[in-house]
């Protein structure tokens, strides 16, 4: 992760707030507000796959943890409008974290990865309907690196710097070229877990393996 936390993003350090985010509908709603601006519960329902009343409940839960708030009303003001309080959010691991915080962090990561895989699956399920230009622009790669912790962090920071100008929160639609649309980048950089050692088998009764008892 980056060595310093970006000003536009919230660093979530509260286990209760992280547990609130470990829900696919809430992640979808918050992303909708952060990337496309203020919206009503009815508009959020389009991305969350829930009813407007269910989205209203999830919006109130996000507001409870300081992630969203009321936006200026529209028209006759009959339907509540919500806005994101930050353009992004995340967290960092640290030493001596409380078990409940670690559990909440892992729950959020599990939800994010599952939802990212689902959206990638949605793309592949409909990719034959995309133009050849877009299909050839999509990119999946898997590479094994040999690095130390500092080099791995530097790689992440350099990639972040490259994509920063293209973030939807940084690039208004009117500044993008004709034909631009929302796209996703899923970046997973991590050290491989140590290889599992095969279980030790006990020698047969009567002596070492391969020996006959005397």
At 133-188, the pLDDT tens digits run 999 999 999 999 999 999 999 999 999 999 999 998 889 889 999 999 999 999 99
What DSSP designation does 198 have? P
Residue-level pLDDT at 2: 42
Q: Contact, 72 vs 78, CB < 8 A?
A: no
Q: Extract the tokens encoding 12.
A: 């979530």
Which of 128, 93, 127 is CA-nearest to residue 109? 93
HSE-CB at 159 with a 13 A cutoff on CA atoms is 12
Domain boundaries, the chain: 9-141
Q: Torsions phi, psi of 133, nearest 5?
A: -60, -50
Q: Which CATH architecture has domain 9-141?
A: Orthogonal Bundle (1.10)
CA nearest to 65, candidates 22, 14, 117: 14
Q: The tokens 């095969």 sit on which residue?
A: 198
Question: Is residue 1 scored above 50 in pLDDT?
Answer: no
Here the tokens at position 53 are 């009343």
Task: Report the predicted TM-score, pTM, of the whole model to 2 decimal places.
Answer: 0.78
Give the residue-averaged pLDDT of 15-42: 94
Q: Which of 143, 146, 21 is nearest to 89 (CA)?
A: 21
92 versus 37: the higher-pLDDT residue is 37
Residue pLDDT, tens place only, 98-122: 899 999 999 999 999 999 999 999 9
pLDDT at 206 over 80: no
Contacts of 105 (CB under 8 A, 6+ apart): 18, 91, 93, 97
With contact defined as beta carbons under 8 Å apart, do 68 and 55 qualify?
no
């Amino acid at each position: 992760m980056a060595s310093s936390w970006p000003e536009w993003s919230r660093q979530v350090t509260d286990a209760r707030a992280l547990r609130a985010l470990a829900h696919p509908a809430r992640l979808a709603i918050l992303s909708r507000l952060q990337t496309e601006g203020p919206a009503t519960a009815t508009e959020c329902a389009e991305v969350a796959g829930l009813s407007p009343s269910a989205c209203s409940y999830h919006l109130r839960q996000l507001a409870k943890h300081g992630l969203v708030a009321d936006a200026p009303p529209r028209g006759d003001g009959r339907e509540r409008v919500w806005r994101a309080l930050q353009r992004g959010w995340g967290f960092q691991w640290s030493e001596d974290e409380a078990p409940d915080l670690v559990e909440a962090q892992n729950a959020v990561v599990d939800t994010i990865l599952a939802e990212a895989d689902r959206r990638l699956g949605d793309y592949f399920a409909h990719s034959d309907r995309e133009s050849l230009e877009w299909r050839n622009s999509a990119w999946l790669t898997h590479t094994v690196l040999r690095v130390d912790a500092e080099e791995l962090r530097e790689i992440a920071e350099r990639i972040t710097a490259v994509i920063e100008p293209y973030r939807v929160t940084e690039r208004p639609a009117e500044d993008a070229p004709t034909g631009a649309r929302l796209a996703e980048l899923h970046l997973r950089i991590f050290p491989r877990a140590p290889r599992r050692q095969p279980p030790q088998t006990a020698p047969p009764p009567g002596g070492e393996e391969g020996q006959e008892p005397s």
